[in-house]
Amino acid sequence: MEKKIPITIDGREVEAAAGQMILEVARENGIFIPTLCHYPGTTKVGACRVCVVDVEGARSLVASCCMPVSPGMIIRTDTKKVRDAQRLIVELLWASGDHNCLTCEQNGNCDLQNLVYWLELETPRFSIQFPKYKQETTNTMISRDLNKCILCGRCIRACNEIQVNEVLDFSKRGSRAKVGPAFDADYIDSECFFCGECADVCPVGAITFRQSRFKGRPWEIQKVKTTCTYCGVGCQMDLNINNGKIVKVTGNRDYSQPNGGSLCIKGRFGLDFVNHPDRLKKPLIRKEKGGELTEASWDEALELIAKKFSEIKKKDGADSIAGLSSARCTNEENYLFQKFMRAVVGTNNVDHCARL
Amino acid sequence: MKVFRSHLLICGGTGCHASGSLNVKKALVAELIKRKLSEEIKIVETGCNGFCAMGPIMVVYPEGVIYMLIKAEDIPELVEEHLIKGRILERLLYREPTTEEIIPTMQEIPFFALQELRVLRNRGLIDPEKIEEYIARDGYQGMAKALTEMTAADIVQEVLTSGLRGRGGAGFPTGLKWKFAAASPGDVKYVLCNADEGDPGAFMDRSVLEADPHSVLEGMVIAAKAIGSHNGYIYCRAEYPLAISRMNIAIAQAKDMGLLGRDILGTGFDFDLEIYQGAGAFVCGEETALMTSIEGKRGMPRPRPPFPAIAGLWQRPSVLNNVETLANIGQLILRGGAWYASVGTERSKGTKVFALTGDVNNVGLVEVPMGTTLGTIVFDIGGGIPKGKKFKAAQLGGPSGGMIPMQHLNAPIDYEKVAELGAIMGSGGMIVMNEDSCAVDMARFFMDFCQDESCGKCTPCREGTKRMLQILVNITQGKGKEGDIELLEEMAPIIKDASLCGLGQTAPNPVLSTIRYFRKEYEDHIRNHRCNAAVCTALFKSPCQHTCPIEMDIPSYISLIRANRMEDAYKVLLRTNPFPSVCGRVCDHKCQTKCRRGKMDEPIAIKFLKRFITDNAPRPKTEPVPVTRNEKIAVVGAGPAGLTAARDLALRGYKVTVFEELPEPGGMLRWAIPAYRLPRNILANEIADVTALGVEIKCNIRVGRELSFTKLNKNYDYVYMAPGAHKSQKMGVEGEDIPGVRGGVEFLRDFNAHEDAWVKGEKTLGSKVAVIGGGNSAIDAARVALRLGADVTILYRRERKDMPAADEEIIAAEDEGIKIEYLVAPLKIEAKDGKVSGITCERMKLGEFDRSGRKKPVAIPGSAFTLAMDAIVASIGQVPDLTFVPKDCGVSVNKWDCFDLAKGSKSQTTDARFYAGGDAVTGPDTVIGAIAAGHQAARDMDAAIRLAGGEPAYEEPAEEKIIIPLIIDEEGEEAPQGKMPELHGPDRRASFVEVELGFSMEDAVKEAARCLRCDAEV
Ligand code: SF4
Ligand code: SF4
Ligand code: SF4
Ligand code: FES
């Protein structure tokens, strides 16, 4: 994009492209503006108002996440007025929720917590009063504690705009407003697909992954990028590993293609098979008819297969062999597999479960 | 066309429907049939007349006579009288609330006469369900002109020229809005009408839709042509069924006639529209929320830009105007922008419709030119405040507007001025509040509305308004803290500045404006737990007790009367008031102004009941209190303040000596108030109780004459100075020093000192006396002069309702034959042979409002006239005489000749050993004010003495327990206040016998039973 709109942020002259929001330009230039409700790739709602900045000539503070730049704009992100507003807003959010970080799953990975620290707030001017909603633990995948919800609406946009599952929205008004499925139902009783997108985008500890509860602090967790093994799409994901175990799977917006950070229920919640005791980790061979399957080495196994296939091919011809491959394999693997069947085995009898 | 001899225009607005206009209409139809008049007289049901509080309303043309509050039963008589006999039926006519004058025709009623109708020009005149009637009144001509003679740019230009600004609230220039939308590319554009009127009390949009629906349609078609749109929506709240049905009828009729839909007027221009019914969320009046709602989504605002002119409804260029704005357009185009701009102010053109409600006589819709003053709207059109209460403020702009207080009654109401005063124009809701409204409570009420209506999207509005509300609730419940006001002041601008939409951006306005104008009320709630309007019930037991300056336990003694336990009642009186029998006669009874019964019918006669107790029970005996303290205390002045302080200090064991300049104690009670109001023995008995405690009163001793200030200073450890205000103020007119011109209090004092000589005629005023002034002492002077045989005229420069004297005193004076000339001010005292011969006066007319909320009298040039008089009594106010205080003694006296108090103290002067109170501190005030000051001083002096000596604070001795019975009548029937029996006949005018005779037992019990027992905790 051609940069051509000159603006000034905190005294620095920078160039922006037409249609860019102040926030975007600031970030590109390494200037920090806090955000809570903003979520890239979704509608700009301008709801939380912590991203406010002072724009010369504007009649009020301006939400930088949804205010497009215009030529000659002079912006300050650090005036007293801006900080006072941010402090009040964060104090209000803090005091309106049950932000007991001691037990919160998001402790150390929470936008609100970070903002309180960044603004150097000691304690809110308001008494802590939260709505006392019941915690939702009626399913095994996602927990909700809306007493920590800051009503940023990110979950709603993730559900409606990213996943297009259209399960979540606001209900009620004012300070009684609440996010969730229709008729205030629990997820399990709603149309929810359990993609986990909402939990992934929630900036605080209101929607979290149930499996990883008490399974490790953010700083103990090691993220390992991998490709989902469930289907051929090849979604990129982060395995969150603690003590050599996968505790949860998170999306990562930086891994653009093919999933842009989104996952489905299987990739998100189905990877616990990795550590399952029943999982086969070595090939098994039944050495005599009617006998037990016994563990073998890969070499042994492959050698046995090669030998048997060669015998069959010799005896009954190559077309007596067929290959069936799995949708959980990648495209590349499937390609190799049909190549193998055709070129090595010599048959066109090759098929794939995904066409069933 | 058929000709009728008479048209009966009966109002069919929602207000009149609710008060029964449909039944009235039915009765009318039946009656006309019965009398075979149906062919001669036509009934028309019109839209709202805007005077809903007086509904059902009917106007009879051609005479233009307007009948109000009509009931179906009135119809036979009405038809008989007016339509058959041709006589106006007076009892159903309008009565001016202040003058009681009967006004038959609409044009003459100030409510209608002072309005300028543009938006509402067809109200009450046409049948809104007949398009022909609209057309007959130039309807659709503006549209025809726009479609046939004008280009889109011409239309935009005309609207720009008119200066019309959006009437929905923000006041954005309508022409500019259209210009942007016109310039915005796109073949699908929308014209939207905002009829989501949500402000409590505002109903101008509904009224227009009901009374003149075609004016809105016409405006929309013109807007459509201007921006190039072919589709529109009217977003109307579902709570307006009548408006919706009339709009639907209007749309169908317009389509039938080719005035809407395809190929309008054969010009090839298409415009079609639909009504979308909103569910009534306040926030849906916000333009982006409204569009989101039409799109079928949750009605939440979204950030701008993009502005609706670029991407509005369904992301298409859209123009949204409110009903009132659109209703202006047809006439504006027909008559031109310059015509439109011919009324209004510099930057706010045209007229504005206000919904006038609250504590005002004429509740209704009012259309006035921009720049009309607040005072004109409230007092001239609105008819002022009911029940003679005082105006406090008007909330302008709905729940997120601001309050404009009394001192700005002269403010011309336009966008700029209103913003400068901290309010907003909003859609034009104007809620009038009288002195019985609490500023903090009003702020709480409006904040409650806003936080409840907040959509919850953005943090400052959602959480901020909630917390502001909590702080306000705490303050109104007596749980306010130091720092609360400041916290509100910190939060408010941030919430205004950082909120996403107009709701949050304006919600803090009521708080800011009440803090701006009524900060003291906030402080009073927080620091003193006082709500002077007696609204915040958590702060007190009963409003009367809270309002009494010495917080007398009124409900308790009233209930003891009902139980016929008069002796106990007397004891209750004496707990707080050393002068109950005096107060039972001459107190200005502030308590009664806040009596809750007064909201239902009339307040309890608290004063009379107090007197009843002291008249009918033996006075509890007073025992001397031994002196237990070393400090010697002097009190200067034996008036109610001095004696109360002396009594309280004596009760605490101090030796107190009171010095009084005049020959007898009592101050103003003895020397100004005449015996016919306060018999001498009554006062003497109460003073005797003070001396009985051990207080010594030394009369005929003026400090600075018989006793030097130095000696006073030396001989006493502490001094309380309460010398009162016994010097009349000068009028400042020529001839004031001629013999025969007296001050009011000077005259009364002389009379009271030499009553015999006056009564015998050894001293005389002459036969014609003028009394100048409107306060209680002016009335006292006049009534005394009358009793001395003079012909008395009171001259007062304002109107009767502005007189500071008690209403009952004015009535008594009039009853006794005293003439009162209002709106007259003295110019010069005329003399002949060195003696008064008359007084030359000027007539006054009422001008602008002054800071006290009353209209300032201004002289009418050339109106001078002279009245022959033998004596003039000038009673326009009193000042203290503090010449006894040496200049350099450390006790400072201010420029009003009153004592200055030490900062933060309510009684200590600038010298720590000297205290002061009563009129000498406040200027002329009431008896009860002086008693309260005496209590205050005694408490403060005792506390200071104990603090200096390191002693613990004083503890009141345990009170005798008196069980207060609780009888509450379930269903209190309306019943007026009991009347005080009075002396009548020639006896009264000629003697100084007490005029008020006192309640009988029966009167008293009946009156006591009216008490609602607000103190009861149930
Ligand atoms: S959501 Fe954030 S701020 Fe709230 S408890 Fe959890 S970590 Fe703390
Ligand atoms: S898990 Fe997915 S489908 Fe379910 S609510 Fe969250 S985002 Fe929507
Ligand atoms: S649950 Fe999380 S993402 Fe959803 S609104 Fe609340 S804080 Fe935002
Ligand atoms: S990040 Fe801009 S309003 Fe929330």
Q: β-strands B718-721, B914-916: how paired? A: parallel
With contact defined as beta carbons under 8 Å apart, do B219 and B192 qualify? no
Which residue of B288, B459, B466, B472 is the best one to mutate when testing the A interface, meaning the one whose CB has the most A CBs within 10 A?
B459
Residue A75 DSSP SS3: strand
Q: Is the dihedral of CA A82, A86, A87, A92 positive or negative?
A: positive
Quote the mean pLDDT of chain B.
Answer: 93
Strands B727-728 and B878-879: antiparallel
Model confidence over B218-256: pLDDT tens digits?
Answer: 999 999 999 999 999 999 999 999 999 999 999 999 999
- Of A353 and A236, the structure prediction assigns the larger pLDDT to A236
Q: How far is ligand 2, taken at its centre, from the CA of residue A146, in Å?
A: 15
Amino acid at B33: I
**Contact with chain A for residue B298, Cβ under 8 A:** yes
Q: Which CA distances in Å does A253 have to A39, A40, A259, B163?
A: 11, 9, 9, 52
Out of B305, B466, B499, name the one closest to residue A175 (CB). Answer: B466
Residue B501, chain A, CB below 8 Å: the answer is no
Q: What tens digit of pLDDT does each residue of A98-115 get? A: 999 999 999 999 999 999
3-class state of residue B481 by DSSP: coil
What average pLDDT does range B768-788 have in this prediction?
95
Q: How far apart are the CA of B491 and the nearest CA of chain A, in angstroms?
A: 7
Q: Report the separation in Å between the CA atom of B301 and the middle of ligand 4, taken as the mean of its atom positions.
A: 14
HSE toward the beta carbon, residue A81, CA cutoff 13 A: 19
Asked if the Cβ–Cβ distance from B456 to A172 is below 8 Å, we say yes
CATH of the domain at B975: 1.10.1060.10
CB contact under 8 A, A150 and B459: yes
Q: Among partner residues B451, B454, B497, which is closest to A61 by beta-carbon distance?
A: B497
Chain B residues touching residue A151 (CB < 8 angstroms): 456-457, 459, 462
The alpha carbon of residue B454 is apart from the nearest alpha carbon of chain A, in Å, by: 4
At residue A11, the 3 state secondary structure works out as coil
Torsion of CA B133, B138, B142, B147, to 10 degrees: 70
**Residue B102 corresponds to which tokens in the numbers above?**
């009967």
Tokens of B301: 């605002």
Q: Give the pLDDT confidence of B552-583 residue by residue, as tens digits.
A: 999 999 999 999 999 999 999 999 999 999 99
Q: Residue A318's closest CA among A351, A291, A349?
A: A349
ipTM for this prediction: 0.89
Share of residues in chain B with pLDDT > 70 (%): 99
* C-beta of residue A251 within 8 angstroms of C-beta of residue A259: yes
Tell me the three state secondary structure of residue A54: strand
B653 with B771, same domain: the answer is: no
Residues B916/B907, Cβ–Cβ less than 8 Å: yes
Residue A168 alpha carbon, nearest atom of ligand 3: 4
Decide if B505 touches A, using CB distance below 8 A.
yes
Q: For residue B642, give its domain range.
A: 632-726+880-948
pLDDT, mean of residues B520-547:
95
Cis peptide bond upstream of B104, omega within 30: no
Residue A269: CB atoms within 10 A of its CB come to 20
CATH number of domain containing B499: 1.20.1440.230
- Domain limit, last residue, from B322, B340, B358: B340
Closest ligand to residue A63's CA: 4
Nearest CA in chain A to B451: A174
Q: Greatest CA span in chain B, whole angstroms? A: 105
Looking at B482, B515, B539, the residue that finishes a domain is B539
Asked whether the beta carbons of B484 and B469 are under 8 A apart, the reply is no
Contact status, residue B440 vs residue B475, Cβ threshold 8 Å: yes
Residue B89 pLDDT exceeds 80? yes
Tokens of residue B868, six digits = 């022959």
Q: What's the mean pLDDT in B278-300?
A: 91
Residue B198's pLDDT is 85
Task: Report whether residue A150 contacts ligand 3, using a CB cutoff of 6 Å.
Answer: yes
Q: Locate the ligand 1 atom nearest the alpha carbon of residue A103 and give its number.
A: 5
- As to burial, measured by CB atoms within 10 angstroms (0-12 exposed, 13-18 middle, 19+ buried), residue A144 is buried
- The closest of B345, B346, B334, B354 to B117, measured between CA atoms, is B354
Expressed in angstroms and rounded, the spacing between residue B283 Cα and the centre of ligand 3 is 22
Supply the pLDDT for residue B566: 95
Of B853, B879, B905, which marks where a domain is finished?
B879
Pick the ligand that lies closest to the CA of residue A124. 1
Rounded-to-integer distance, Cα B192 and Cα B291, Å? 9
| Residue B918 included in any domain | yes
Instruction: Name the pairing type of β-strands A178-181 and A168-171.
Output: antiparallel
Nearest to B462 among A46, A52, A177 (CB): A177
Residue with CA closest to ligand 2 atom 2? A195
Distance from CA of B475 to the nearest CA of A (A): 15
Q: Determine contact, residues B632/B670, Cβ cutoff 8 Å.
A: no
Q: In terms of domains, do B866 and B888 share one?
A: no
Residue B490 and residue B394 in one domain: no
Question: Residue range B432-461: average pLDDT?
Answer: 95
> Which residues of chain A are in CATH 3.10.20.740 domains?
4-78
Please report the DSSP string for B314-380 in residue order: GGS-EEEEEHHHHHHHHHHHHH-HHHHTTSB-SSSBSEEEEEEEES-SS-EEEEEETT-BHHIIIII
pLDDT for residue A356 is more than 70: no
B580 and B561 both lie in a single domain: yes
Q: How far apart are CA B532 and CA B546, in angstroms?
A: 8
- The arithmetic mean of pLDDT across residues A159-182, rounded, is 95
Task: List the B768-772 sheet strands across, edge first.
Answer: B741-743, B871-874, B768-772, B791-795, B819-821
Domain co-membership, B598 together with B693: no
Query: Hey, is B313 helix, strand or coil?
Result: helix
For residue B793, name the pLDDT band (cuts at 50, 70, 90): very high
Residue B464 has pLDDT above 60, yes or no: yes
| CB nearest A60 (choices: B298, B487, B497) | B497
- Closest chain B residue to the Cα of A64, Cα to Cα: B303
Other beta carbons within 10 Å of B503 = 26
* Whether B194 and B309 share a structural domain: yes
Nearest-atom number in ligand 2 for the CA of A197 is 7
At residue B383, the 3 state secondary structure works out as: coil
Q: What is the CA radius of gyration of chain B?
A: 34
Question: What total number of domains does chain B contain?
Answer: 7
Strand order in the sheet with B364-369: B364-369, B351-358, B429-434, B391-396, B402-405
Q: Of the candidates A92, A170, A172, which has its C-beta nearest B459's C-beta?
A: A92
Does any CB of chain B come closer than 8 Å to the CB of residue A68?
A: yes
| For helices B1001-1009 and B606-616, angle between their N-to-C axes, nearest 10 degrees | 140
A96 touches chain B (CB under 8 A): yes
Q: Are B454 and A46 an interchain contact pair (Cβ–Cβ within 8 Å)? A: no
Give the torsion through C-alpha atoms of B138, B142, B148, B153, to 10 deg.
170
Is the pLDDT score of B781 beyond 50?
Answer: yes
Q: CA angle, B261 as apex, B257 and B266 as ends, to 5°?
A: 65
Say what the pLDDT of residue A355 is.
59
Nearest C-alpha in B relative to A92: B463
- Taking the CA of residue B306 and the nearest CA in chain A, the distance in Å comes to 9
Residue A3 has pLDDT above 70, yes or no: no
Query: Which range in A145-159, B31-45, B730-744, B984-998 is most confidently predicted, on average pLDDT?
Result: A145-159
Helix (H, G, I), strand (E, B) or coil at A211: coil
CB atoms within 10 A of CB B715: 12
Q: What is the mean pLDDT of residues B113-134?
A: 90
Task: Write down the pTM of the prediction.
Answer: 0.90
Distances (CA, A) of A73 to A16, A50, A58, B154, B305: 11, 20, 10, 34, 15
Domain A4-78 annotated CATH 3.10.20.740:
yes
> Residue B108: what pLDDT?
85
- B214, B282: one domain: yes
Distance from CA of B452 to the nearest CA of A (A): 6
pLDDT of residue B987 exceeding 80, the answer is no
pLDDT averaged over every residue in chain A: 93
pLDDT value at B970 more than 80? no
- Most confident option among A289-293, B644-648, B968-972: B644-648
Same domain flag for B555 and B534:
no
CA–CA distance, B238 with B284 (Å, rounded to integer): 12
Confidence of residue B3 (pLDDT cuts 50, 70, 90): confident
Torsion angle (degrees, nearest 10) of CA B49, B53, B58, B60: -80
Atom in ligand 1 nearest the alpha carbon of residue A108: 7
Q: How many angstroms is it from A267 CA to the middle of ligand 2? A: 14
Taking chain A, what is the end-to-end CA distance rounded to the nearest angstrom? 45
Are B460 and A88 in contact (CB < 8 Å)?
yes
Residues in Cβ contact with A137 at an 8 Å cutoff, skipping those fewer than 6 apart:
A143, A210
Q: Give the integer Cα–Cα distance in Å for B680 and B673.
A: 10
> Which B residues 460-489 touch A at CB under 8 Å?
460, 462-467, 470, 487
On whether any CB of chain A is under 8 Å from the CB of B255, the answer is no
Residue B1017 falls inside a structural domain: no
Whether residues B734 and B795 fall in one domain: yes
Residue B790 lies in a domain: yes
Instruction: Give residue A52 CA to ligand 4 midpoint distance, Å.
Output: 7
Is the CB of B457 less than 8 angstroms away from the CB of A169? no
Q: Among candidates B642, B644, B752, B631, which has minimal Cα distance to B689? A: B644
For residues B830, B835, B838, B842, the Cα torsion angle rounded to the nearest 10 degrees is 40
Residue B1 within a domain: no
Residue A32 CA: distances (Å) to CA of A72, A146, B901: 20, 28, 56
Give the CATH number for residue B102. Answer: 3.40.30.10
Distance CA(B355)–CA(B418), nearest Å, equals 16
Closest-CA residue of B relative to A127 is B467
Please give the number of the atom of ligand 3 that sits closest to the Cα of A154. 3
Query: What is the nearest CA distance from B519 to chain A, expressed in angstroms?
Result: 22
- Picking from B310, B315, B424, B458 by the largest number of A CB atoms within 10 A of its own CB, the best residue to mutate is B458
Percent of chain B surpassing pLDDT 90 = 82
For ligand 2, residues with CB inside 6 Å are: A 158-159, 163, 165, 167-168, 192-198
Tracing tokens 């001239």 back to the chain, one arrives at B380
What's the gap in Å between the CA of A236 and the closest CA on chain B? 33
Looking at the predicted structure, is the pLDDT value of residue A263 above 60?
Answer: yes
Distance CA B981, CA B995 (A): 9
- Asked whether residue B959 is assigned to any structural domain, the reply reads no
Using CA coordinates, name the residue in chain A closest to B461. Answer: A174
CATH number of the domain encompassing residue B307: 3.40.50.11540
**B593 and B685 together in one domain:** no
Of A49, A85, A151, the CB nearest to B500: A49
Q: Report which ligand 4 atom has the smallest distance to the Cα of A65.
A: 2
Task: Let me know how many helices (H) and strands (E) chain A has, helices first.
Answer: 8, 16
Same structural domain, B516 and B547: no
The arithmetic mean of pLDDT across residues B107-133, rounded, is: 89
Q: What is the pLDDT of residues B348-392, one digit of tens each?
A: 999 999 999 999 998 889 999 999 999 999 999 998 999 889 999
Q: Which long-range contacts (CB under 8 A, 24 or more apart) does A1-8 make?
A: A5/A69, A5/A70, A5/A71, A6/A71, A6/A72, A7/A69, A7/A70, A7/A71, A7/A72, A7/A73, A7/A74, A7/A75, A8/A73, A8/A74, A8/A75
Same domain assignment for residues B182 and B294: yes
Q: Which residues in B71-106 are b (16+ Cβ under 10 Å) and which e?
A: ebebbeebbebbbeeeebbeebbbebbeeeeebbbb
Ligand nearest to the CA of A43: 4
* Cβ atoms B93, B67 nearer than 8 A: yes
Q: Is B223 on the interface with A (CB under 8 A)?
A: no
The C-alpha of A190 sits at a distance from chain B's nearest C-alpha, in angstroms, of 19
Q: Which of A61, A89, A126 sits opposite B459 (nearest CB)?
A: A89
B384 inside domain:
yes
Mean per-residue pLDDT for A76-86?
97
For residues B801 and B385, what is the distance between their CA atoms, to the nearest angstrom? Answer: 11
The residue among B880, B887, B881, B893 whose CA lies nearest residue B709 is B887
Hey, is the C-beta of B496 within 8 angstroms of any chain A C-beta?
yes
